[in-house]
Amino acid sequence: MSRDSDDADAPADTAAGAPLPGTLPEALGAELIDFRRDLHRHPELGNQEFRTTAAIKERLEQAGLRPRVLATGTGLMCDIGTDTAYGDGTAPLLALRADIDALPIPDTKTVEYASVVPGRAHACGHDVHTTVVLGAGLVLAALARNGALPRPVRLIFQPAEEVLPGGAADAIESGVLDGVGRILAVHCDPRVDAGRIGLRTGAITSACDRLEVELDGPGGHTARPHLTTDMVTAAARVALDVPALIARRVDARAGLAVTWGRLSSGHICNVIPQRAELSGTVRCLDLDAWRKAPDMVHAAIDEVATLHGAKSQINYVRGVPPVVNEADSVTLLKDAMTARRGVHSVEDTEQSLGGEDFSWYLEEVPGAMARLGVRRPGELGRYDLHRGDFDVDEQAIKVGVELFTAAALLSAELLP
């Protein structure tokens, strides 16, 4: 399936010698940027994406498609090309997945499309993912009308990716994978230049769980800490010592890491509080270590809390396993990007400690996720995910659309 060429920078051609169809028309490209900016102005949290769902549905219906809202009430799916010669129900579909929810953080950018919803922002690029899949669907629908789509495609717009254990499980329960033979996705990567993608066979993300801890003790006067449980010190030791203990109880190559995002205790300077709360995440690169993590984390917290006279209550919330990219699907994405922009538009990427519920789809069908470059030239390291100032080079939308359309056209080689 590889299309290596003597001219490594030139996009590959089809076997017939003609450029691969399915490029993004200029007018549609401008419309998609406007669509993304509208989503960016109106971010919605997981399972609350009613406006977003309605906007996607309306645009797909304008194109003559028949999207179906998921049983959860937000998110939707839409099939393309099922009324063609390959749409008799026997050909497996290629699914293209986007996540549509935002984050509960303020948008701190000074741009005209900044969020108008206080405390809400598309700080992870889901507005871009959504726009890319929408745009690919509109281009593929035009190809299908002209008889140029070799296999049917399903668009999946999934809610609640940011809500552990992720909305993917509910989407699967709603039937989004029924009849699907392969699934693809992209995720914005501010470390990769716009116009490029990052690929990796095998695990490309980590597992991610949520951890909540309550510590309790008698409390008392700060003049007599020896007569009480010094709760602030106990919480501080849990925060510091538990990650260190975990690091010594598992193979370092597993990448098991406990990281705290919140620590709260007390209300006044001269009172030792009776209670402290900590919350954070447990991330892991290795699937086997992830399965053992809850017991190890429980034991470490109990040990440290007991040493300091505190009682611990632990809420360990299972999240998502690693996203493990399947080799043929990675090859499909590589060939699709090479066909559009040449071999130098694809780079190897490392496994990250970020979690992604796309992993649940890959427990059911083969597939892969690509890292979509969104970094603007000259802005090395300026933006990062899950920050209020996160933004993208909007040329990445065109790149993502054309990557997916090329993959849909080339997927017939993988889908029987």
DSSP states of 224-271: -GGGS--HHHHHHHHHHHHHHHHHTSS-GGG--EEEEEEEEE-SSTTE
The torsion angle over the Cα atoms of residues 6, 8, 11 and 13, rounded to 10 degrees, is 20
What gap in Å lies between CA 271 and CA 269, rounded to an integer?
6
The torsion angle over the Cα atoms of residues 407, 411, 412 and 415, rounded to 10 degrees, is -160
pLDDT tens for each residue of the chain, 416 residues long: 444 434 445 565 554 456 789 999 999 999 999 999 999 999 999 999 999 999 999 999 999 999 999 999 999 999 999 876 555 667 899 999 999 999 999 999 999 999 999 999 999 999 999 999 999 999 999 999 999 999 999 999 999 999 988 899 999 999 999 999 999 999 999 999 999 999 999 999 999 999 999 999 999 999 999 999 999 999 999 999 999 999 999 999 999 999 999 999 999 999 999 999 999 999 999 888 998 999 999 999 999 999 999 999 999 999 999 999 999 999 999 999 999 999 999 999 999 988 999 999 999 999 999 999 999 877 766 678 999 999 999 999 999 999 999 999 999 766 55
Quick one: pLDDT at residue 18? 62
What gap in Å lies between CA 110 and CA 119, rounded to an integer?
15
What gap in Å lies between CA 345 and CA 149, rounded to an integer?
25
Quick one: pLDDT at residue 381? 60
Q: In angstroms, how far is CA 372 from the centroid of its own chain?
A: 11
Quick one: pLDDT at residue 382? 64
> Which residue's entry shows tokens 């919330």?
317
Quick one: pLDDT at residue 7? 46
Nearest to 356 by CA among 329, 380, 325, 332: 325
Quick one: pLDDT at residue 8? 45
Quick one: pLDDT at residue 269? 96
Quick one: pLDDT at residue 379? 76
Quick one: pLDDT at residue 380? 67
381: alpha, beta or left, given left = phi > 0 and alpha = psi -120 to 50?
Answer: left
Q: Are 45 and 120 in contact (CB under 8 A)?
A: yes
Residue 220: strand pairing partners: 272
The torsion angle over the Cα atoms of residues 53, 58, 60 and 63, rounded to 10 degrees, is -170
Quick one: pLDDT at residue 85? 55
- Positions of E strands within 43-151: 68-69, 76-80, 93-99
Quick one: pLDDT at residue 91? 81
